[in-house]
Structure 1
């Protein structure tokens, strides 16, 4: 279990982390989300005592990381996939970690096999691709068979097979009762992996809730209807006191009504429907809705300034235009 209480980090005038309080519990994959510059990496570094908090505390099973007797056997972390000596082989990189932490040599071969790097165990790290480096970083995190796992952007550089593998790995680790804390910008992957979400923006806590509750609380659900008798459909809904708004491809969007009820209503009026589909926002849509005011950097889509609001997704990826500039 990881417990944060009032955790704060200031760099000069910059408040990177602002009184964060939340708990990462065992048995769940907890997704850690936030726009670029939200303070996610800084928070993870403070969990591992790589940065000292300006204020507040963060405890791992009731202790500071520096107080842990066998840290790698308690916490495994991937924060930087490039954190290995370029001249060392994958095997020797892990062996150094194992020997300095009282971990048996046999465990090195086990984790190399787990992450799929056995065939390149003797290859030097400087020749690794980004995806291979990610796998080696995950192997290092697993080395001590820890109860707590922390991953910062673990799918960077992985191919589809690798992404599928790390998703199942994290789920299996949580199913074993371990604490799994993972930061990612890949919303579609978080939607498939995380059970619980912690969302921050500009260093402040925005949400600490289940995946289902987060989407329900931060998105609009509606029913999309399409009919070759669209005008009759609109009149029928209006006559029943139901408000519909135009949608894409000539559809109508209806809020606050059950799809089954709408289908029965159309049947009573002998209306043909080509579509009757409940719509629920994705994690990405819910996330963008919640963090709209917390994005520090906004990308530009090439339209002239003042031509409208930034498109969905602005603030992600190769951001170059700072908000307000």
Structure 2
């Protein structure tokens, strides 16, 4: 478990993290989201003792990170995959980490095989692709078989097979009762992986809720229908107190009603339906809606002619 209590970090007059209070629970994959400049990286660095808080507190299973004996046995993290000595082999890199944290040597080949690097264990990371570097970083995080795992952009550089693998790995680790905390800008991937979300903007907590509730509370849900008699359908809906919105392709969108009810209304009035489909916004749409006022860096224009 990771506990943040009014965690704050200032750089001069700039507030990077602003009294952030939340708990990352074991047993679920928790996604950590926020626009660029929201304070995610600073928060994760403070969790690992790499940055010192200006105020507030952060604890790893009830202890400050710098008081953990053999920290890799408690928390494993991937923040920067290329943070390895380029001339040291993958095997030796993990061996040094194992020896400094009291981890049995046999664990080194185990995690190399687990992340798919067994065949290149004796090669130097300076020749690794971005995806291979990510796998080595994940191996480092898994080395001590910790109860807490933290990943920053874990799918960066991975091919489709690798993305599928890390997604299933994180879910499996959570199912074992481990705390899994993952930050990513890839909303489509986060939607497939995370069960709970912590969202920040400009250093402040914006949401701490389940994936399902987050999308429900921060997006529009509606039913889309198509009929060869749209005007009659409009009249039927108006009589029922519903206001449809016409789309460019001739369909109607209706808020605040179940699709079953719309189907029953059409049947009662002898209306043929060619489409009746509930529409739920994506995680990306919900995220954009919630963080619209918290975006620090805005792009302008389409880039045409650049």
* Same fold, judged at TM 0.5 (above): yes
Which string of whole-angstrom CA distances, capped at 9 and with x for unpartnered residues, describes residues 19-55 of structure 1? 0000001101110000011000100000000000000
Aligned pairs, how many?
304
Q: Deviations over 1:293-324 (max 9, x none)?
A: 011111223379xxxxxxxxxxxxxxxxxxxx
Distance 1:243 1:13 in 2: 49
Q: Counterpart of 1:243?
A: 243
> What is aligned with 2:211?
211
Matches of 1:30 and 1:207, distance apart in 2: 12
**RMSD, aligned α-carbons:** 1.1
- Take 1:247 and 1:296, find their aligned partners in 2: how far apart are those partners? 33
Give the structure 1 partner of residue 97 of structure 2.
Answer: 97
Q: Deviating runs (4+, > 3 A) in structure 1?
A: none
* Cα displacement string for residues 101-143 of structure 1 (whole angstroms, at most 9, x for unaligned residues): 1111110000001100011111110001111000000000000
CA contact (8 A) 2:223 2:276 kept: yes
Q: Secondary structure, in 3 states, of the residue corresponding to 1:219?
A: coil
Matched, 1:83 2:78: no
Please list every run of 5 or more consecutive structure 1 residues that lacks an aligned counterpart in the other structure. Answer: 305-325
The secondary structure found in structure 1 opposite 2:294 is: coil
Q: CA separation of 1:139/1:244 partners in 2, compared to 1, >3 Å: closer, same or farther?
A: same
Q: Which residue of 1 aligns with 2:279?
A: 279
Residue by residue, what CA displacement relative to the aligned partner does 1:75-126 show, whole Å, maximum 9, x if unpaired? 0000001100111111111111111111111100000011000111111100
1:311: which partner in 2?
A: none
Q: How far apart, CA to CA, are the structure 2 residues paired with 1:84 and 1:162? A: 21
| Structure-1 residue corresponding to 2:18 | 18
Q: CA deviation at 1:264?
A: 0.9
Alpha-carbon distance between aligned partners in 2 of 1:47 and 1:61, rounded to the nearest angstrom: 11
Structure 1 length normalisation: TM-score?
Answer: 0.92
SS at match of 2:241: coil
Q: Deviations over 1:137-165 (max 9, x none)?
A: 00000000000000011010011111110
Rounded to whole Å, the distance in 1 between the matches of 2:225 and 2:250 is: 9
Structure 2 CA distance, aligned partners of 1:240 and 1:146? 57
Provide the residue aligned with 1:156 in structure 2: 156
Which deviations, in whole Å up to 9, do the C-alpha atoms of 1:215-238 show, x marking residues without a partner?
111011111111121122112212
Structure 1 residue 240: deviation in Å?
2.3
User: Does the 8 Å contact 2:81/2:137 carry over to 1?
Assistant: yes
Kindly indicate whether residue 46 of structure 2 is the aligned counterpart of residue 32 of structure 1.
Answer: no
Q: CA deviation at 1:248?
A: 4.3
Alignment of 1:281-320 (within 5 A): 281-302=281-302
Partner of 2:258: 258
Query: Does the Cα contact within 8 Å between 2:70 and 2:100 map onto a contact in 1?
Result: no
**Residue in structure 2 matched with residue 69 of structure 1 by the alignment:** 69
Alpha-carbon distance in 1 for matches of 2:288, 2:47? 27
Cα pair 2:173 2:180 within 8 Å, conserved: yes
